[in-house]
Every structure is written in C-alpha cells, then in structure tokens.
Structure 1
Amino acid sequence: MKLCSLASGSSGNCIFAGSEETSLLFDAGISGKRVEQGLNSFDYTGKDIQAVFVTHEHADHISGLGVLARRLGVPIYATEGTIRAIKNTSQVGKIPDSLFHPVYADRTVQIGDMEIEPFSISHDAAEPVGYRITNGSHSAAIATDMGTYTDYTVRHLQFCDTLLLEANHDIRMLEMGRYPYPLKVRIMSDKGHLSNEASGRLLCQVLHDNLKYIVLGHLSAENNYPALAYETVCSEVTAGDNPYRADDFPISVAGRSSVGELLEF
C-alpha cells in the first residue's frame, strides 16, 4: 500500500493512496496541473486515478475537482451533503451528474482491491468525513479539518499502518495573530481545526507498536510552522499517558505546497 501528500494545508489539499492495482485521490484542492506534476514525481499520471474521494466542499479541498473530473472523467465519491454543496459551488464549474457517487459514514466502498470507509468528523461543512483506507492487512487514515474528536474518531484511527493527522495551528499564534476575531473563534471551535496540542493528544490515543508512519497535515500558513507543529506534537506524545516516546515513530510534516515522500507499507 502507498500514500503520498501532494499538498496539505490551508491553501490546498490532495492526497494519493494506492496499491499495486488501485490508485485513488483524496480531495482535489490544487490545480489539475499540480496534481499531474505531483503524480508524475513518482511515475504515475492522472489517467491512473480510478476515483476521487472528497472530504468536504471547502475550496482548499475541491478547487481543482471540476477540471480533474471533466478532463479525466474520474468518478467522484462524497457524502450526499457534500455532493449538493459541490454542485452549488460555481467556481468548480459543471460536473456531469453521472460522475458523482454518494458515500455514507461507516459504510465501506470497494474500489479495486481497496476498501474505503468514511467516518464523520466535526467541521463547519455540509456533511464532512475523514477516510480510512484498507488494502488487505494494511490500512491508512486521513483525518483533517476536525474541530474536535471523540471516542468514535479514535476507533476509526486505531491500528492503522499510516496516519495523516491534522495539526493546523498553534493556539498562541492564532490568538495573537492578525485574523479577525470571528475567524479565530471559528478555527478554535468544535467545528474548526485541531491545534498542535490537540493533535498530539489524539495521537496518544491511537499509537501502537505497528504504526509505521505519522504525517502531520493541514498546517495553517498564518498560524503555524512545520517545526513548531512537529515539536509540539512530539512533546505531547512523549509527555502523554502512553507507553511510547515520540522518537519511537517516524513523524513528518506534510508540505503545504510540496509533494511529500511516497510512503510504502
């Protein structure tokens, strides 16, 4: 199984996940050109993609979706609420209805040799979800754009080989930064985004001996730094109520505008 972040951040998100037989994208919040360049960096092309799964309808997750769909005719999987919201987003342009396929939280979808299970997340969007992806005995999860998490979230993230987890902002940078007060409130709300500290606390609940990769994603361009996200999450893990230290695991930070390492597991 393989996973690679083509872009992850407040300005655009697109994640590749695949196996020897199946190639998928999760979100398309960057241009079709950047998607193609990202895939080319590990010898794939857009024509290899068999489906795009969308987490929610915010622009940083769907801005390139229309071009990708029209150019490649690739099927789009999203919740019914998200599909309605995409159709009402004029910037995406017209996408043929035949390309949309509804998914439902906690119901698995089979694409090739991969199983994709959406799970509900708390965010200010129509019907947002994260995704757990399974191929045989291996699995990965994509969990970003979450204002909070619950035991339900933890269950869907347990026992993964690889986890891409939101570490959006540093609370102090956000509080002292130039964002208007209502936007600060939105980001820190239960329907906003996970802080570095919250990301580390969630991570403490899903660590296990066979976790191979942890990727911190969806960093804010204004209210975070990669090194700060990394250090804060690592501190939470090492100080947390769990038997592990941060250096027991490979922890990396996904680039906001750069293609990450192709992780194979």
Structure 2
Amino acid sequence: MRDFHVHSNYSDGDFLRSMVRAAETAGLDGIGFADHCNVASRERPESMRGVYGFNLDLTYERRRRGIERLQSDFDLEIYDAVEMDYDPRDEAAIDTFLSEAGFEYAIGSVHAVDGNNVQVASHFAAMSDAERDAVVDRYFDRLVALVESELFDIAAHVDLLERTPPLRGRATEAHYRRVARALADSRTVPEVNAGRALSDAGVVHPAERFLTVLRDHDVAVTVGTDSHHPDELPDRAAFLEDFLDEWGLEAVDPDGLGTDA
C-alpha cells in the first residue's frame, strides 16, 4: 500500500520526517509528497500563494535534498511530487515548471471557480439554484480541461465540490460521464482521496455515483490520503485499504512507479 498524496511543511502540512514516520507506523510501502504549488501571476492567486506558501517552484530543490536524506534513513519509498492548481490560462507556465523541475509525478487539482474556492460554503450560500448549478458546470469544464491538457499524472479529488453543502449533490451523471470519457482517453489517472472520508461529512472522492461511472469507462484509479498532519495518515490509509477491498479495486501507481497498491 502506497499513499501518493500527502503534504509537508513545504506547503500547508507538517515536517517531512514526521510524515514519513507516520507512513512507516501505518505500515505503508511508500509515501508521496505532493506539496501545493501555484505558478499563476495574476493578483489573486499571487496573494493566496503568499498567504499559504504554495510556492514549491521556489523551494522544490531544497525539499528534494530533504527527501533524499530521508530515503537513506527509512526503508520505504519516498516520492518527490507536486500538486498544482490548474487554470487553463496557466498551462504554459505549468508546463515550463514541470519540465524544469522533473518531479516523479505531478498532481493537478481544481480548487477554484471564478476566483472562489469551491470548498468555502459562504461563497455560494446566497446564490440561487441556477447560479449554483452554473458553478458546478464551470467546475467540470475546468476539470475536463485539466485532463485534456495532459500536464498531470493524477487528477486530485475530482469532485471536490462535494465537500461544500451548497454545491453538494448538484453534479449529474452527464458531468461524470464527460469527465470519465476524458480520463479514458488520457494518461491522467483520478485518485481515490480520503481527505474528508473520516470527517463528519464522510465524503470520499470520487463519490459512489462518480466512481461507478469511472468503472463503467474502465478508468483506473490511484490513492491518496491527502494528509497534512501525521495523526491523519494512519486512519486514512487504513480506510483506503478497506475501501479498495470493498470495491474490488487495485490502485495503480502514477506514471508506473512500481508495484500496485
């Protein structure tokens, strides 16, 4: 069992060594550090990048040296990866950075629509049903564009808006089938993400309806706990292992990184 999506102090998570120790305690065979990075030059993402430290483009070489030291100290695979915010306007900048940095794999994610983070309920609370449905449409437009860009090995939490009560349940089977068709034609693999699976919301990405559609299209999946702190990782990893068994899934490694989960 490998966890391909965790964060460290190089974005909004805990120290590298603490996260690796948690993976070792959980009995994992590998852990992949995919810290957040945003390379957009527009004012709002630039501001958020400064506030949250999503600037791995400036620090990846230092983090890589830290990962290399840990690889000699621990008997498990430790992967050097990145999670990048995707906006079609940034494709050239993303491509340039990924080509330069040479990560073992790259995760792409859609966190915002029209500048609003889809995880923040207050952005959508005062909207009409029609306005919320339009947000959902635009989210899936951007997700399809992410897949079709062929920039990423993994598409993260592919129905992120299910975390947000005003948007939850508004995605349709047509949305899911559109994404599934794009993934079936792409090298990009969606992840089963446990970042909110053990919360009060109990949200697993992708949701059951979406996962069923992905299976109908023979789309493979990979796995990530999306852990930011050591105490999150063991329970989320155990959940994912049980989830894969329940669904009869065998997770693949992004870009052929070794044995299956």
> TM-score band, normalised by the shorter chain?
0.3 to 0.5
Between Structure 1 and Structure 2, which shows a larger proportion of helix residues?
Answer: 2
Q: TM-score, normalised by structure 1?
A: 0.40
Q: TM-score, normalised by structure 2?
A: 0.40
